[in-house]
Amino acid sequence: MSIHPSAIVAEGAVIPDSCTIGPFCTVGANVVLGAGCSLISHVVIDGHTRIGDRNTFYPFSSIGISPQDLKYHGEPTETEIGDDNTVRECVTISRGTEKGGGITRIGSHNLLMAYVHVGHDSVVGNHCILANAATLAGHVIVEDYASVGAFSPVHQFCVVGKYAFIGGGTIVTQDVLPFSKTSARRENKAFGVNSIGLERKGFSPERIKTLQKAFRLLLVSKMNTSQAVEKMRELEGEDVALLVDFIQRSERGVIK
């Protein structure tokens, strides 16, 4: 185990020998680190926080800190982080609140760029990218393989669907459709399938064409959402079924 002399590690913290704790880091008593984690310098990890293997935390990131919620009064809520994540400079991840479920969760293989904020009780899936200064208010869900652009705030209780791409500077106040491109340059509207992103993730041309048909029904036709969903049901494939289910489950409405 490599712990710099200037680091402060509280008694009770669980740190495997394979971890590296750099200069001026602070690790709280209820923190559990997995194997091969690296805290480069000036990192704060606090609260009841469980972290998986091979995560890297860059300077001035603050993990498991108290939520920015006036109703929080020190309850022992939690933060949970998976494996192989990169957390860049000045990222803040707040622990959960009792009324919000009690836990903030980050999955595995994610990149959180500088100044990202993950608010209390939020859930980030796997293989997601949150670009510089992306901001998740409390209770936000970001599903697998989604990308949230730089300087994009996401409103409380919104859901960002799988494989969605949100352009930089987009203010998100409703749910973001899976597989979609959504951007402030288009007046905060969805403007089709995230085809380039899907190609990079190994989607076949046939799968993408089917999704494009579904999005044309939803976004371009003169049908309302309910009518479009009924027509979309006639298309085959798990991707369209996932899209239809997402629309029907949405509580805040979807960005169209």
Using alpha carbons, list the distances in angstroms from residue 103 to 13, 20, 75, 171.
19, 26, 11, 25
Alpha-carbon dihedral angle through residues 85, 86, 88, 91, given to the nearest 10 degrees = 0
The helix, strand and coil proportions of the chain, stated in percent and rounded to the nearest 5, come to 20, 30, 55
- Produce one character per residue of 197-222: b if its CB has 16 or more CB atoms within 10 Å, e if not: bbeeeebeeebbebbebbbebbbeee
Q: Is 144 in the active site?
A: no
Tokens of 16: 């495997």
Tokens of 138: 């409390």
84 is catalytic: no
CA distances for 76 relative to 15, 137, 252, angstroms: 20, 20, 30
CB 32 within 8 A of CB 46: no
* C-alpha span between 240 and 143 (Å, rounded): 16
Catalytic site residue from 42, 48, 117, 120? 120
Q: Is 64 left (phi over 0), alpha (psi -120 to 50) or beta?
A: left
Separation CA 110–CA 85 (nearest Å): 5
Cβ neighbours of 119 (radius 10 Å): 23
Which of the residues 121, 161, 175, 239 is marked catalytic? 121
Confirm if 66 and 72 have CB atoms less than 8 A apart: yes
Is 69 in the active site?
no
- Tell me which of 28, 119, 138, 161 is the catalytic residue: 138
Hey, which residues are catalytic here?
A: 120-121, 138
